[in-house]
Structure 1
Amino acid sequence: MKGILDRFEGNLAIILIEETKEEIQIKKENLPEGSDVHSYFQLTKEEGTYSIVRLDKDQTEKEQQKSADLMTKLRAKSSGSKWKK
C-alpha cells in the first residue's frame, strides 16, 4: 500500500492513502530519514494501525518528474497575459 506525505502540522506528518481514501498522522520523528512533503512511502496495515515500511524514493522521483514535465508543458503553452499593462 502506498501513501504520500501531504503536509506537516506542527510535530505531525499528514500522510494520505489514496487506495483507502484515508488520512493518517505520524510524528515527524517517526518518519524515515530524507522524508519531505510529497514523499511516497510503502505502508503496511496490521490490526488497524498503519506503519511505514520504507521511503519509496523511486516513486517519489517519478512523480516529481511527471509534475515538472507538466509544468514545462503548461509554461510552453502560455502566450502571456491578454491584459494591457
Structure 2
Amino acid sequence: MKGILDRFEGDLAVILVESEKVEFTVPKSNLPTGSQVNTYFDIEKDGPSYKIIKISEATTIAEKQKTINLMAKLRARQTESKYKR
C-alpha cells in the first residue's frame, strides 16, 4: 500500500494512508534518506501499526507531475483581473 508524508510536527513525521483512511506518525530519524513533504512511500501493515518499506519514486514523480499539470491548467484559465485599475 502507499502512504504520503503529509507534514512534520516537531520531531515527528505524519504519514497518510488513503486506502486505509488512517494517519500515523514516525520519528523523523526513521524516515528514508531524501524524504520530504509529499514523498510517497511503500508501506506495509505490521499488526496494528504500519511500517515504511521504501520511498516510492515512481508514485512521487507521477503525483508531482499531476500537480504541475493541474496548476498549468489553472493558470491557463485565468484571465485578466475583473477589477479596473
Same fold (TM over 0.5): yes
- Name the structure 2 match of 1:65: 65
Distance 2:44 2:57 in 1: 17
Aligned residues: 85
Superposed counterparts of 1:1-85, under 5 Å: 1-85=1-85
Q: 1:38, 1:80 → 2: CA distance?
A: 32
1:81 is displaced (CA, Å) by 1.4
1:31 is aligned with what amino acid? L
1:3-59: per-residue Cα shift (whole Å, max 9, x none)? 000000000000000011001000000000010000000001111111001100110
**Aligned letter for 2:21?**
K
Q: Give distance in 2, aligned partners of 1:7 and 1:39.
A: 10
Q: TM-score, normalised by structure 2?
A: 0.96
- For 2:7, the aligned partner's letter is R
Distance 1:27 1:38 in 2: 16
Provide the aligned C-alpha RMSD in A: 0.7
Deviation beyond 2 Å, 4+ runs, structure 1 = none
Give ranges in structure 2 of 5+ residues lacking alignment.
Answer: none
Secondary structure of the structure 2 residue equivalent to 1:52 = strand
Q: Percent identity?
A: 49
SS in 2 for 1:61: helix
How far apart are the structure 1 equivalents of 2:31 and 2:80? 42
